[in-house]
C-alpha cells in the first residue's frame, strides 16, 4: 500500500547535490545469546518501535561457483517454514503492522523486522521470525518460482546500461575473486542449483556463530535479552564463515569498451582497495570526500558538472568491504563528450594523487564530516543500520564515539601518503559503455 | 486478525504528548509550520514553493526544474555554488527537488545552525542572479539528467508517454524533467520570468521539524522573511482534463528483455470530491488490499499463485493536487504476454466489484496504516515531507492526524462501491513496453 509519502512515479526529480561531539555517541550494550549469537542493543523509549536486523556472512561472496545461490536462499526464507506457508508467514507479520524485509549482497545477508513495541505483538512474531531464519523448508515450487524470477531479472540486466557497467566493472576488477559475480548470479549456475544446494548453503551459513543481531528501540535491557533469545532460539551453533581473501589489482591499466545503444555513455573506473578495518580507512575516507565523495564541494563535481556541465552525476567512492572493497569513480555524459570526460576524470584523479588536497579543502572536509555527524544517527532506522555494520564487521563498539576524532586526526600528508600507496592509476580498470554519437 | 488486536494496536500507537505541529502566517503571507522533535540535536528545514510542472505549458516544460537548479547558482551576495559551500561548512546536508505541484529546498543540519539556513533561503527567495554562462551549463546538466533518468530507460519513457496519453488537456501530461526539445530551446529569460512570477513569500511555506523551539523558529522566520514583499500570484488558468469516454492504448518498443505493462484508471483526489470524501480513503484501502505486502492479493495470486508476473503492484495518491490515476503495473513472467497480465488485473478488479473484501484483509490493511503512522515518526525528514506535500497542494496538513481514523472507518461496502465506480474500462489508459525485436503479438 502506498502512503502519500512514497510516490511511486518518477515525478520527484532531485537536484542531486550530493560539531557536536558527545562523549558517547550511542550507548551500545552487547552480549551473546545462549547459543552464541552476538547482540548489539541501543535502548530508546521515545517511540514505541523496535527494529531488528539479523545479519549473516552469507552473501554472494560465499556462492563458490554456484553464482546466485546466496540470493536464492535468502529469498526463499519467507517461502515456508514448518507448517507455515509463504502466505501464513506474510500474514502473521503484516496483520500486526510489522514490516519484514530481507536481502543479500556480496558480504552480508540479512533479515529485518520493524514492529510496534507492545509485548503481545512482539510475542506474536518473534517465534515466526526465529523459524524463518533458522528452519526454512525450501518448497520446490517456490524454488522454481524464485529461480525463474532471478533469471528474468538477469535477462533484463543485460538491457540496462547501469547494470551492464556495474557487472563489467566487478567482472574485470575482481576476476576470479569471490566478489566477481554479484548476488544476481548467472544464468547457467542458477539453472543448476538444486534443493540440496540450498539446504547445504543454509546449513553452513545461517548459524549462530556466523550471525549478528542488532536491536534498537523501546525495550528494557531485560526485554531485549529475552527477545534476542527468542529470535535466535532455533539457530544451530555452527561455525563462522572463512575470511574473504584479498583481491589483486589488475597488473596493468586496462580499458574495456562495450558498445551499447544509448545516447549517453557511462564510464566507471577503479580497483580493489578498502577493507572495513583498513589502517588507511580514515585517510582515504577524508581524501575521497574531497576528491568526489561530498557532492557539490568535491573536485569531481566542481570540474565536471559545475564548471563544464558534462554530467549530472559524477562521484568517487571507496566501498568498505570485508576485504579489498572497490574504489570507484563514475560519470555519465552524452556520447560525443565521452572522450573529453574520460580524460578529465583521469586527470583529476592523477592530480589528486600527485598533489593531494590543499589546506582549505581539508578544513572544509573536516567541518562537513564532523559537523554532520549527528545526522548519521538521528533515527532508530539509522542506528540499527550502524549497529548491523559494527556487529557484522566486528568494529570496535566505540567506533562512532571516536569517529570525529579519527577524522580530525587526518592530515594532508596522511591523505597524500595513503593515496600514493594505495590508489594506482596503472592498475585500474576502466569500463566505458556507450554508443556512437 | 481479530478486531481486538486492531483496537489494541490503535491504543499502542498513541503519539508522545509533546508531538504537535504549530503554524503561523507572516504578514507577507508566508506560512511557517513547525514540529518539535527532540530525539536528536538536528533539524530539517524545508522551503516549499507552490510551483511545479503542472503550472507549465508546452514550449517551456521543465522550466520549474531548471529554475530549481539555478537557485544554487548565485545571488546578489553569493557566488555560484556558495550556498552549498556554506551549508557544507556548517556540517549540513542539502538538496532540492521539483515535482508536479511544488519545488522544495531542504537542509538537514545540527539544530544550532538553523539560522544560517533561514538567512540563505530568504536571500535566494528574491535575490537570485541569472548568469548566461551558468544557465547554459546548467541546462546541459539537466539534459544529461534527462538522458540518465528517461531517454535511456525504456520503462521511464513508457511512463512519461503513458501520462501524456492518459491526460490530454490536464497539465499532468507534462513531464517534470521537461521534453528534450523544450530543454534545448529554453532561454534564460524563461527561467528568470518564472522566478519573478512564482517565487514569493506568499507562495511559499517554511516547514521545520526537529530539535527547535517553535516560538524561536517563528521569531527567526520573522527576522529573515518578514521584510520580503509579497507578489500578486495569478493562479494558472484552470485546465481540467476532458472526460474520458473510451479506452486508450499505446505501445513502445525499447531495450528490454521483458515487456512491461502500465494501466491507469482516472481516479479522484481530495480536491475533486465534494460529497464522497470517503472515496479517497476507500481507494487507498483498496490499493492496500491489492498491493499491501506479501499477504496481499497481487503477491498471493499473481506472483505466487498463478505466477503471472515477476513483479506487480498498484499506486494511488489520494492527496495529489489534480485528479490523477489509480495505476496497475507489472512485469509478466517468462512466457506470459502483457495481455495476459492485463487480464489478470482486470480479473482482480472484477473480484473487487463483485465480492466484498474480507474482514481479515481490511484489518490487515488498517493494522499496517496504524503501525506506519508510528514508524513515520522516526524520520524528521519524512515528517517534514508529509507536511509540505499536503500544504503545498492546498490541503490542510492536519489531514495527517485524521488519516488513520478515516482509514479505519472504511468498510467492505465502501471498497466494493469505489471499485465499481472508478474502474470503468472507458476511463482506462494502457501502455505496453515491448522488447525491440518483437513487433505485434507474441
Instruction: Sort out which chain B residues have CB atoms less than 8 A from A15's CB and list them.
Output: 68-69, 72, 95-98
Q: What distance in Å separates the CA atoms of residue A13 and residue A50, rounded to the nearest whole number?
A: 32
The three cell numbers of residue A138 are 525450501
DSSP β-ladder status, A429-434 and A254-259 = parallel
Residues B260/B252, Cβ–Cβ less than 8 Å: no
> What is the residue-averaged pLDDT of chain A?
94
The residue behind cell 537570485 is B128
Instruction: Sort out which chain A residues have CB atoms less than 8 A from B299's CB and list them.
Output: 90
pLDDT at B6: 72
pTM of the model: 0.94
Confidence of residue A17 (pLDDT cuts 50, 70, 90): very low
Which of B15, B16, B1 lies closest to B372, judged by CA? B15
Which of B2, B10, B33 lies closest to B395, judged by CA? B33
Confidence of residue A249 (pLDDT cuts 50, 70, 90): very high
Q: Contact B177/A13, CB-based, under 8 Å?
A: yes
Q: What distance in Å separates the CA atoms of residue A102 and residue A82, rounded to the nearest whole number?
A: 19
Instruction: Sort out which chain B residues have CB atoms less than 8 A from A143's CB and list them.
Output: none
Q: Contact A99/B294, CB-based, under 8 Å?
A: no
pLDDT at A5: 36
Which of B105, B112, B292 lies closest to A14, judged by CA? B105
Q: Contact B379/A261, CB-based, under 8 Å?
A: no
Looking at the DSSP bridge assignments, the partners of residue B205 are B31, B48
**pLDDT of A12 above 80:** no
Q: What distance in Å separates the CA atoms of residue B350 and residue A53, rounded to the nearest whole number?
A: 40
Q: What is the mean pLDDT of residues A67-94?
A: 98
Side-chain half-sphere exposure of A319, counting CA atoms within 13 A: 15
- Four-point Cα dihedral B191, B197, B199, B204, nearest 10: -140
The values of phi and psi at residue B97, to 5°, are -150, 150
Confidence of residue A25 (pLDDT cuts 50, 70, 90): confident
Q: By three-state DSSP, how is residue B31 classified?
A: strand
Instruction: Sort out which chain B residues have CB atoms less than 8 A from A90's CB and list them.
Output: 293-295, 299
Instruction: Sort out which chain B residues have CB atoms less than 8 A from A333's CB and list them.
Output: 144
Residues A210/A57, Cβ–Cβ less than 8 Å: yes
B310 Cα to chain A: minimum distance (Å): 6
Q: For B140-194, give the DSSP string.
A: HHHHHHHIIIIIT-HHHHHHHHHHHHH-SSSGGGS-TT--HHHHHT--HHHHHHH
**pLDDT of A18 above 90:** no
B83 Cα to chain A: minimum distance (Å): 10
> Which residues neighbour A267 within 8 Å (Cβ) at sequence distance 6 or greater?
A330, A331, A332, A333, A338, A341, A342, A345, A430, A431, A432, A433, A434
C-alpha distances (whole Å) from B361 to each of B115, B356, B370 are 48, 10, 14
Instruction: Sort out which chain B residues have CB atoms less than 8 A from A3's CB and list them.
Output: 372, 376
Instruction: Determine the length of chain B.
Output: 442
Q: For chain A, what is the total number of helices (H) and then of strands (E)?
A: 15, 14
Burial class, A232, CB count within 10 angstroms (exposed 0-12 / middle 13-18 / buried 19+): buried
B246 Cα to chain A: minimum distance (Å): 24
> Which of B89, B138, B160 shows the shortest C-beta gap to A364?
B89
Interface-testing mutation among A5, A14, A15, A263, with chain B (most B C-beta atoms within 10 A): A15
pLDDT at A435: 83
Q: What number of other Cβ atoms are within 10 A of residue B123's Cβ?
A: 17
Q: What distance in Å separates the CA atoms of residue B320 and residue B327, rounded to the nearest whole number?
A: 14
Q: What is the mean pLDDT of residues A99-116?
A: 98
pLDDT at A13: 41
**pLDDT of A19 above 50:** no
Mind listing the pLDDT tens digit for each residue in A278-336?
A: 999 999 999 999 999 999 999 999 999 999 999 999 999 999 999 999 999 999 999 99
Q: Can you list the alpha helix ranges (DSSP code H) found in B18-126?
A: 63-70, 82-89, 114-126
Q: Contact A313/B148, CB-based, under 8 Å?
A: yes
Which of B170, B208, B178, B195 lies closest to A13, judged by CA? B178
Q: What percent of chain A has pLDDT over 90?
A: 93
Q: Contact A49/B375, CB-based, under 8 Å?
A: yes
Q: What distance in Å separates the CA atoms of residue B377 and residue B105, rounded to the nearest whole number?
A: 21
Q: What distance in Å separates the CA atoms of residue A368 and residue A376, rounded to the nearest whole number?
A: 12
Q: What distance in Å separates the CA atoms of residue B42 and residue B212, rounded to the nearest whole number?
A: 8
B326 Cα to chain A: minimum distance (Å): 11
C-alpha distances (whole Å) from A157 to each of A152, A154, A364, A435, B360 are 9, 5, 39, 18, 38
Residues A238/A133, Cβ–Cβ less than 8 Å: no
Q: What distance in Å separates the CA atoms of residue A211 and residue B64, rounded to the nearest whole number?
A: 49
> Which of B42, B257, B374 shows the shortest C-beta gap to A374?
B42
Q: Contact A373/B91, CB-based, under 8 Å?
A: yes
Q: What is the mean pLDDT of residues A99-110?
A: 98
The three cell numbers of residue A162 are 547501469
Q: Contact A159/B255, CB-based, under 8 Å?
A: yes
Q: What distance in Å separates the CA atoms of residue A172 and residue A431, rounded to the nearest whole number?
A: 9
Q: What distance in Å separates the CA atoms of residue B199 and residue B49, rounded to the nearest whole number?
A: 7
Q: What distance in Å separates the CA atoms of residue B116 and residue B119, rounded to the nearest whole number?
A: 5
Q: What is the mean pLDDT of residues A18-39?
A: 80
> Which of A5, A118, A371 shows the shortest C-beta gap to B90?
A371
Which of B204, B37, B203 lies closest to B118, judged by CA? B204
A46 Rama class: left (phi>0) / alpha (psi -120 to 50) / beta = alpha
The three cell numbers of residue A248 are 589483486
Q: What distance in Å separates the CA atoms of residue A82 and residue A132, rounded to the nearest whole number?
A: 9
Q: By three-state DSSP, how is residue B286 classified?
A: helix
A136 Cα to chain B: minimum distance (Å): 17
The three cell numbers of residue A236 are 544451530
pLDDT at B17: 47
C-alpha distances (whole Å) from B438 to each of A118, A263, B104, B152, B258 are 54, 22, 42, 19, 11
The three cell numbers of residue A96 are 500486526
Mind listing the pLDDT tens digit for each residue in B116-159?
A: 999 999 999 999 999 999 999 999 999 999 999 999 999 999 99
With b for 16 or more beta-carbon neighbours within 10 A and e for fewer, the B47-73 pattern comes to bbbbbbbbbbeeebbbbbbbbbbbbbb
**pLDDT of A408 above 50:** yes
> Which residues neighbour B48 within 8 Å (Cβ) at sequence distance 6 or greater?
B102, B103, B104, B204, B205, B206, B207, B388, B391, B392
Instruction: Sort out which chain A residues have CB atoms less than 8 A from B291's CB and list them.
Output: 1-2
Cite the active site residues of B: 68
Q: Contact A46/B16, CB-based, under 8 Å?
A: yes
> Which of A116, A333, A379 shows the shortest C-beta gap to B374?
A116
Q: Contact A4/B386, CB-based, under 8 Å?
A: yes
Which residue did the predictor score with more confidence, A18 or B76? B76
> Which residues neighbour A201 within 8 Å (Cβ) at sequence distance 6 or greater?
A58, A62, A66, A69, A70, A73
Confidence of residue A6 (pLDDT cuts 50, 70, 90): very low
A314 Rama class: left (phi>0) / alpha (psi -120 to 50) / beta = beta
Q: What distance in Å separates the CA atoms of residue B386 and residue B404, rounded to the nearest whole number?
A: 14
pLDDT at A7: 35
The three cell numbers of residue A56 are 549473516
Spans of chain B below 50 pLDDT? 1, 17-18, 441-442
> Which of A264, A310, A377 shows the shortest C-beta gap to B148?
A264
Q: What distance in Å separates the CA atoms of residue A399 and residue A320, rounded to the nearest whole number?
A: 15
Q: Contact A8/B315, CB-based, under 8 Å?
A: yes
The three cell numbers of residue A155 are 535477462
pLDDT at B340: 98
Q: Find the radius of gyration of the CA atoms of chain A.
A: 23
Q: What distance in Å separates the CA atoms of residue A72 and residue B311, rounded to the nearest whole number?
A: 16
Amino acid at each position: 500500500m502506498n502512503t502519500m509519502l512514497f510516490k511511486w512515479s518518477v515525478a520527484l526529480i532531485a537536484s542531486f547535490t550530493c560539531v557536536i561531539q558527545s562523549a558517547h555517541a550511542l550507548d551500545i550494550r552487547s552480549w551473546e545469546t545462549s547459543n552464541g549469537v552476538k547482540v548489539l542493543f541501543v535502548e530508546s523509549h521515545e517511540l514505541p518501535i523496535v527494529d531488528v536486523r539479523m545479519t549473516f556472512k552469507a552473501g554472494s561472496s560465499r556462492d563458490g561457483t554456484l553464482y546466485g545461490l546466496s540470493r536464492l536462499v535468502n529469498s526463499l526464507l519467507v517461502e515456508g517454514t514448518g507448517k507455515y506457508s509463504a502466505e501464513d508467514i506474510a500474514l502473521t507479520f503484516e496483520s500486526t503492522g510489522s514490516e519484514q524485509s530481507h536481502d543479500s549482497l556480496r558480504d552480508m545477508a540479512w533479515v529485518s523486522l520493524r514492529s510496534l513495541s507492545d509485548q503481545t505483538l512482539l510475542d506474536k512474531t518473534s517465534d515466526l521470525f526465529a523459524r524463518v531464519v533458522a528452519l526454512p523448508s525450501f518448497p520446490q515450487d517456490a524454488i522454481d518460482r524464485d529461480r525463474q524470477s532471478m533469471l528474468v531479472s538477469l535477462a533484463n540486466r543485460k538491457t540496462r546500461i547501469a547494470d551492464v557497467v556495474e557487472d563489467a566493472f566487478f567482472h574485470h576488477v575482481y576476476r576470479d575473486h569471490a566478489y566477481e559475480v554479484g548476488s544476481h548470479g548467472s544464468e547457467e549456475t542458477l539453472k543448476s542449483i538444486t534443493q540440496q544446494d540450498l539446504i547445504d548453503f543454509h546449513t553452513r551459513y545461517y548459524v549462530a556463530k556466523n550471525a549478528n543481531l542488532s536491536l534498537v528501540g523501546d525495550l528494557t535491557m531485560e526485554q531485549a535479552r529475552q527477545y534476542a533469545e527468542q529470535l535466535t532460539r532455533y539457530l544451530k551453533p555452527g561455525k563462522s564463515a572463512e575470511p574473504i581473501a584479498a583481491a589483486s589489482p589488475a597488473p596493468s591499466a586496462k580499458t574495456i569498451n562495450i558498445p551499447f545503444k544509448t545516447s549517453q555513455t557511462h564510464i566507471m573506473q577503479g580497483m580493489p582497495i578498502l577493507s572495513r578495518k583498513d589502517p588507511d580507512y580514515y585517510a582515504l575516507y577524508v581524501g575521497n570526500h574531497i576528491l568526489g565523495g561530498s557532492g557539490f564541494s568535491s573536485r569531481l563535481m566542481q570540474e565536471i558538472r559545475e564548471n563544464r556541465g558534462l554530467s549530472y552525476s559524477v562521484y568517487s567512492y571507496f566501498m568498505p568491504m570485508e576485504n579489498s572493497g572497490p574504489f570507484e569513480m563514475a560519470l555519465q555524459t552524452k556520447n560525443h563528450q565521452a572522450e573529453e570526460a574520460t580524460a578529465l576524470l583521469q586527470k583529476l584523479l592523477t592530480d589528486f594523487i600527485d598533489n593531494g588536497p590543499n589546506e582549505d579543502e581539508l578544513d572544509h572536509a573536516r567541518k562537513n564530516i564532523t559537523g554532520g555527524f549527528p545526522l548519521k544517527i538521528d533515527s532508530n532506522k539509522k542506528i540499527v543500520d550502524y549497529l548491523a555494520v559494527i556487529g557484522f564487521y566486528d568494529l570496535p563498539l566505540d567506533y562512532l564515539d571516536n569517529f570525529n576524532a579519527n577524522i580530525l586526526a587526518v592530515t594532508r600528508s596522511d591523505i597524500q601518503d595513503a593515496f600514493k600507496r594505495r590508489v594506482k592509476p596503472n592498475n585500474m580498470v576502466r569500463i566505458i559503455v556507450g554508443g556512437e554519437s | 486478525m481479530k478486531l481486538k488486536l486492531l483496537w489494541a494496536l490503535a491504543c499502542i500507537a498513541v503519539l508522545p504528548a509533546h508531538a504537535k505541529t504549530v503554524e503561523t502566517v507572516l504578514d507577507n503571507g508566508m506560512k511557517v509550520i513547525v514540529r518539535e522533535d527532540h530525539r536528536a540535536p538536528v533539524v530539517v528545514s524545508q522551503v516549499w514553493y507552490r510551483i511545479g510542472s503542472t503550472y507549465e505549458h508546452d514550449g517551456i516544460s521543465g522550466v520549474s526544474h531548471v529554475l530549481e537548479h539555478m537557485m544554487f547558482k548565485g545571488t546578489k551576495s553569493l557566488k555560484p555554488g556558495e550556498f552549498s559551500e556554506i551549508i557544507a561548512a556548517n556540517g549540513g546536508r542539502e538538496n532540492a527537488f521539483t515535482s508536479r505541484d511544488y519545488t522544495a529546498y531542504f537542509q538537514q543540519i545540527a539544530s544550532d545552525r538553523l539560522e544560517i539556513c533561514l538567512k540563505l533561503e530568504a536571500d535566494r527567495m528574491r535575490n537570485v542572479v541569472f548568469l548566461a554562462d551558468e544557465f547554459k551549463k546548467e541546462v546541459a546538466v539537466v539534459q544529461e539528467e534527462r538522458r540518465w533518468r528517461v531517454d535511456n530507460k525504456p520503462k521511464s519513457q513508457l511512463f512519461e508517454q503513458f501520462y501524456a496519453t492518459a491526460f490530454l488537456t490536464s497539465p499532468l501530461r507534462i513531464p517534470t524533467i521537461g521534453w528534450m526539445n523544450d530543454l534545448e530551446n529554453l532561454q534564460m529569460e524563461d527561467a528568470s520570468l518564472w522566478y519573478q512570477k512564482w517565487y514569493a513569500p506568499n507562495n511559499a511555506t517554511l516547514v521545520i521539524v526537529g530539535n527547535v523551539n517553535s516560538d524561536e523558529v517563528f521569531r527567526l522566520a520573522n527576522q529573515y522573511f518578514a521584510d520580503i514583499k509579497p507578489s500578486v500570484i495569478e493562479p494558472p488558468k484552470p485546465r481540467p482534463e476532458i472526460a474520458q469516454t473510451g479506452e486508450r492504448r499505446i505501445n513502445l518498443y525499447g531495450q528490454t528483455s521483458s515487456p512491461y505493462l502500465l494501466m491507469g484508471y482516472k481516479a479522484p483526489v481530495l480536491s475533486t470530491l465534494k460529497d464522497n470524501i470517503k472515496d479517497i480513503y476507500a481507494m487507498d484501502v483498496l490499493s492496500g488490499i491489492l498491493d499491501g505486502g506479501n499477504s496481499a492479493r497481487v503477491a498471493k495470486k499473481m506472483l505466487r499463485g498463478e505466477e503471472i508476473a515477476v513483479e506487480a503492484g498498484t499506486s494511488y495518491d489520494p492527496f495529489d493536487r489534480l485528479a490523477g490515476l489509480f495505476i496497475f503495473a507489472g512485469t509478466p513472467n517468462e512466457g506470459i504476454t502483457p495481455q495476459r497480465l492485463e487480464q489478470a488485473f482486470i480479473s482482480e478488479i472484477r473480484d473487487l466489484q463483485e465480492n466484498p473484501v474480507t474482514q481479515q484483509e481490511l484489518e490487515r490493511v488498517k493494522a499496517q496504516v496504524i503501525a506506519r503512522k508510528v514508524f513515520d515518526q522516526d524520520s524528521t525528514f519524512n515528517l517534514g515531507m508529509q507536511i509540505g506535500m499536503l500544504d503545498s497542494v492546498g490541503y490542510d496538513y492536519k489531514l495527517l492526524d485524521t488519516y488513520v481514523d478515516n482509514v479505519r472507518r472504511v468498510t467492505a461496502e465502501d471498497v466494493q462501491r469505489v471499485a465499481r465506480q472508478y474502474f470503468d474500462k472507458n476511463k482506462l489508459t494502457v501502455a505496453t513496453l515491448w522488447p525491440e525485436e518483437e513487433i505485434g503479438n507474441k
